[in-house]
Structure 1
Amino acid sequence: MSHRLRSPIHRRTALKMAASTGALALAGCLSSDPTAAEMRIGAPWEPNVDPLDGGSTLRRLGITEALLGVDYDANPAPELATDWERLDDRSWQFSLREDVTFHGGDSFDATAAVESLERTLESAAFADLPIETVSADDESTVVVETETPFSPLPAHFSRNEAVILNPSTFDEDGSISEPVSTGPFAVDSFGSGGAVSCVRHDEYHGERPEIESVRYERVEDDQVRRMKLESGELEMARILPLGTVDALESADGIDVHTPEIPRIRFLTFDTTSEPFDDERVRRAVNYAIDLKELTESILEGIDDPAVGPFSQDITEWANPDLEGYGHDPSRARRLLSDAGWASAGGNDVRTRDGETLEIEIPTFDARSLPLIAEVLQSDLSAVGFDVDVRTIEYNAMLEQVSQGSFDAYLTSWGTLYYPDPDRLAELFHSEEATLHHGYENEEVDALLEEARELDDRTERKERYYEVQSIVLEESPVAFLTNYTNVIATAGDVSGYEPHPIESRYGLESITVDDE
């Protein structure tokens, strides 16, 4: 039978597979042992060559590295920089590792780091950050100046877009044709259909991988990924359906991991138009939804109800005093009545001034959202809403809600894709939020702006905790569920530890029994 285990980030184990041998070869410092174990990974994402164009897969595979990484407590951690220091309100110093080489043998130093980072800072991904200059103080020191005090700076330097590439490989226009970095693995080739072949970087500065080569392939269909794993064509299948967990747990030689990650599903309200311009109506929605039943049925009991934007199981930035709404249809009905939406009794749709309480909820086909939308439709109908659910393309949904007034839309976001709670500004700041709720609260804005400047972690926490309390009460969004990944590995794979924000697979710590 499968092996099962739990961890603080809700990991379960179980999956089946045979190991495979073979290797790829690169010249110079890259390994070429043709008999060592190979790791084959299947996931739904297409890898891109340029980290500025969605290059997260390269980071996860251990090809690219940044000045900072993210540790297993979801905090910034040393990577190419051994440590960092805030010199004053607007100055930061990063001390770099010595004796680091790029794939191919060129030396890494502060000059190379600065040239690579300048390319990052000129990109759209970093356009809104208040970074003024980045410079090399000496061969092993990088200094960054910001326009305003900006505490989240280290977290942003851990992002995928901020990885350090060998500047000598840049084209004249700043583009790149191959990603040459410093990680434990180096690209051998990009194949058709979203495949990448990698080999071990034997001059790597850190833990030397046992795995000799890695092959990543894009496999869009969930069931195909599972079948490839079970048939011995993959050692790791990522992002499998929640409904497969029980079957995989009962299989021989299979390990299934179910780590909770900092992602939530939530309903975003248009707080500027009826009916959700009234806080009472937004709160009524929260009380009407049975999150416990939703997570137990639709989400197989694997995902948990969300109380706020962050989970306490992942980060200390989560306000520990939040309690959520709970399922209370009677209270939902009272709030709707208080807001003037009268009921004729039974399950009739409520009315006010001759208008019915009709709402439309668009969503998109991913992360179980259409199934969740059906539950919302049922729960809200039970308290007097007439709900029309529409599943459309993601971009079409965003275009619709950005064009003018709407009712609400159902979506999912990563809330710590860089490890700092300043991400809350992108959710709730009246001028910086990229959600389309139209929510404005001067106190929330002030708290977010103060926390961004403060250096003391405790003082920052107090402000972010208060923001979480306010937005839970005023409900520009309805927090629905936390999010769990399902990752399956072959039984002969050892040492895999799911990362809390998915920034790395940790392949340098994995072994594959190739006997």
Structure 2
Amino acid sequence: MRHFLATVALGALMIGATPLTSLAETPDNQLVVATTMSNILTLDPAAITGRETVQVLNNIYDTLVQLSPTDRSIQPRLAEKWEVASDRMSIRFHLRKDAKFASGNPVTAEDVVWSLKRLLTRNLAQSSLLKTRGFSADKADTLFVAEDANTFVLNLPQADDPSLVLMVLAQNGPGSILDSKTVLENEKDGDLGAGWLTLNSAGSGPYALTQWASNEYIILTRNDGYWGEAPAMARVLMRHLPESQSQRLMLEQGDIDVAYSLLAPDLTALEASDKVQIESTPGSGFYYLGVSMKDERFAKPKVREALRYLIDYEGLDKAVMPYYGKLRQRQISTGVMGSLPDPGYKLDIAKAKALLAEAGYTDGFKTTLRVLSEEPFMKAATAIQNTLAQAGIEAELITGSGDQIYGAMRERKFELLVGRGGGGQQPHPDNNLRALAYNPDNSDEAKLTNYQGWRTSFFDEKLNTMIQAALVEQDAAKQTKLYEEIQIYMEAIVMSIQPFSEVVDTAASQADVKGMTVNPWLSRFESVTKDR
């Protein structure tokens, strides 16, 4: 803690604030945010991973369009307007004429073309969001076209739902628009500026990256040339503070404005404070119990069905998941097109035992259950371990880091796993289904690690066909009906992944902080003010 206080004071000096003896109140025009930066390995939009990095990029890069933080509708950003062609195979974007990068260079359609080409050429994590929609680097010249300085045309490589493509482009990473001139001025050995972009920014957003010290802090400074309304906060200091209790203490003392990595016990304790506000909003994805269908036991539908009745959904929802998630049993996010109500599964030991007996496991069996060694995963897995045992399934817990637990899943070398995932960043059912159910090639050699259907060795050709047909259906009412039918079919065939909770994002902040968006995929600090 002593080290952290010292580095906060150092951070205050670096961003031009006058450090107070006790740091009892943050500066009026500067936002101090505590979060976890362990997953922030680069700030190159093409190479980033994780929602924490997207949250940083949201403030320094613009996208063509954005998702509204209130209803997730598609809104203008760099593009003032756009038109979808009658055949739904192209989208024409009309760019703002007043937009400039932090360098002072104008934002042009050529920058958009270059940014998207660079994304596919680098072929790193973020390119997968376009590659799964058929985009490829060798076709980039025909797919990305600058008609003039302010008109960009996106040609779709295959039949798709244009609204979903727009949602992908709204996400920083795949949709980030870079200052091509500035990046190329800093290119080395043909790296397309990758080395420079690790620690520098070339965006047109409301802030520019001033300094980043890995696993310590990130400093963002207001971009005075920003095309939109000037942010109230002149600077943002983001601190790496992974310990929940430390975040809580700093928040109570007034040394930070926002805390993003608080655990449930500390959030509960803060609920009584009139100086702190806590907000939970819908997040992205699900907490789930997954099985490997490479295991002959879990390949049997009756065994998978038994597992449905060996999760205490309501107990988890009340005792483990507050601030983390809310009860959900379907594989499509609540509120998106075609989303059905939950089927109403409940813990039923007798029913689960009967199903296991039908599958040939009257006395149960031994297995392993992998889980991240952090909350709420550990508590959820322990609870599921206990209910599994009541039906005779003895599950040994294997705990570890994300690389260890999800790494085993990506290698298809696991039995049971409690995890989190399933899309949802784009509020469209196809985003969930591609993540959880779709699997175009179930061979080991395919290595389709982005698909959790592949990770769990789940393959159903009919379901693949249904997902594809729903995506390209042009009649909205028919499309909604197709997604409803998909959920009914998925329930009948018993999927390899059973959600038990839908992710919510929770953050705590000083009561005078206004305009915060909690969801890190959508949050931008440009709207934040302090009511002092």
Name the TM-score class by shorter chain.
Answer: 0.7 to 0.9
Do the aligned partners of 2:92 and 2:153 also contact (CA within 8 Å) in 1?
yes
Cα distance 1:404–1:142, how it changes in 2: closer, same or farther (>3 A)?
closer
d(CA) in 2 for partners of 1:406, 1:496: 39
Match of 1:400 among 408, 430, 433: 408
d(CA) in 2 for partners of 1:194, 1:118: 32
1:161-217: CA deviation from partner (whole Å, max 9, x where unpaired): 120111112214202422121111122222353422122223322232222211111
CA shift, 1:36, in A, is 5.7
Match of 1:167 among 176, 180, 192: 180
Do the aligned partners of 1:310 and 1:415 also contact (CA within 8 Å) in 2?
no
d(CA) in 2 for partners of 1:190, 1:95: 34
CA shift, 1:378, in A, is 0.6
Within a 5 Å distance, the mapping from 1:195-344 to structure 2 comes to 195-300=217-322, 303-312=325-334, 315-317=335-337, 319-342=339-362
Tell me whether 1:427 sits opposite 2:436 in the alignment.
yes
1:331-359: CA deviation from partner (whole Å, max 9, x where unpaired): 212211222222xxxxxxx15xxxxx112
CA shift, 1:306, in A, is 1.5
SS at match of 1:288: coil
Cα distance 1:228–1:457, how it changes in 2: closer, same or farther (>3 A)?
farther
Do the aligned partners of 1:187 and 1:198 also contact (CA within 8 Å) in 2?
yes
Tell me whether 1:366 sits opposite 2:366 in the alignment.
no
d(CA) in 1 for partners of 2:215, 2:333: 36
Segments of 4+ moved more than 6 angstroms: 20-23
CA shift, 1:300, in A, is 4.2
Amino acid at match of 1:380: L
Do the aligned partners of 1:236 and 1:490 also contact (CA within 8 Å) in 2?
yes
Q: Which residue of 2 aligns with 1:130?
A: 134
Q: Which residue of 2 aligns with 1:354?
A: none
Cα distance 1:201–1:23, how it changes in 2: closer, same or farther (>3 A)?
farther
d(CA) in 2 for partners of 1:260, 1:244: 20
Q: Structure 2: any 5+ residue segments left out of the alignment? A: 1-10, 17-26, 441-447
CA shift, 1:414, in A, is 5.0
Tell me whether 1:489 sits opposite 2:516 in the alignment.
no
- The structure in which a higher percent of residues are helix is 2
1:57-111: CA deviation from partner (whole Å, max 9, x where unpaired): 3224x21111121112224332111232221342221221221111131111111
Q: Which residue of 1 aligns with 2:61?
A: 64
Amino acid at match of 2:127: F
CA shift, 1:404, in A, is 5.1
SS at match of 2:345: coil
Tell me whether 1:38 sits opposite 2:30 in the alignment.
yes
Q: Which residue of 1 aligns with 2:19?
A: none
**How many residue pairs are counted as aligned between the two chains?**
469
Amino acid at match of 2:499: F
Tell me whether 1:454 sits opposite 2:462 in the alignment.
no
CA shift, 1:376, in A, is 0.6
Amino acid at match of 1:59: L
Q: Which residue of 2 aligns with 1:148?
A: 158
Q: Which moved more, 1:402-411 or 1:282-291?
A: 402-411
CA shift, 1:287, in A, is 1.0
Match of 1:480 among 491, 496, 500: 500
> How high is the sequence identity, in percent, across the aligned residues?
21
Do the aligned partners of 1:451 and 1:464 also contact (CA within 8 Å) in 2?
yes
Do the aligned partners of 2:323 and 2:505 also contact (CA within 8 Å) in 1?
no
CA shift, 1:147, in A, is 2.1
d(CA) in 2 for partners of 1:405, 1:498: 35
The two structures, once aligned, show a CA RMSD in angstroms of 2.4
Cα distance 1:299–1:379, how it changes in 2: closer, same or farther (>3 A)?
same
Q: Which moved more, 1:277-286 or 1:183-192?
A: 183-192
Cα distance 1:483–1:89, how it changes in 2: closer, same or farther (>3 A)?
closer
Cα distance 1:168–1:190, how it changes in 2: closer, same or farther (>3 A)?
same
Do the aligned partners of 1:68 and 1:80 also contact (CA within 8 Å) in 2?
yes
Do the aligned partners of 1:42 and 1:237 also contact (CA within 8 Å) in 2?
yes
TM-score normalised to structure 2 length: 0.82
Within a 5 Å distance, the mapping from 1:16-31 to structure 2 comes to 24=15
CA shift, 1:381, in A, is 0.8
SS at match of 1:360: strand
Q: Which moved more, 1:189-198 or 1:380-389?
A: 189-198
Cα distance 1:205–1:150, how it changes in 2: closer, same or farther (>3 A)?
same
d(CA) in 1 for partners of 2:237, 2:318: 36
Do the aligned partners of 2:159 and 2:472 also contact (CA within 8 Å) in 1?
yes
Q: Which residue of 1 aligns with 2:94?
A: 95
1:132-179: CA deviation from partner (whole Å, max 9, x where unpaired): 420101121111122211223212212221201111122142024221
Q: Which residue of 2 aligns with 1:80?
A: 78
d(CA) in 2 for partners of 1:164, 1:301: 34
d(CA) in 2 for partners of 1:468, 1:218: 40
CA shift, 1:437, in A, is 1.6
Q: Which residue of 2 aligns with 1:505?
A: 523
CA shift, 1:361, in A, is 0.9
SS at match of 2:326: coil
CA shift, 1:316, in A, is 2.2
d(CA) in 1 for partners of 2:236, 2:412: 47
Cα distance 1:267–1:253, how it changes in 2: closer, same or farther (>3 A)?
same
CA shift, 1:307, in A, is 1.6
TM-score normalised to structure 1 length: 0.85
For CA contacts below 8 A with separation 6 or more, give which structure has more relative contact order.
1
SS at match of 1:153: helix
Cα distance 1:57–1:301, how it changes in 2: closer, same or farther (>3 A)?
closer
Amino acid at match of 1:83: K
Amino acid at match of 2:177: I
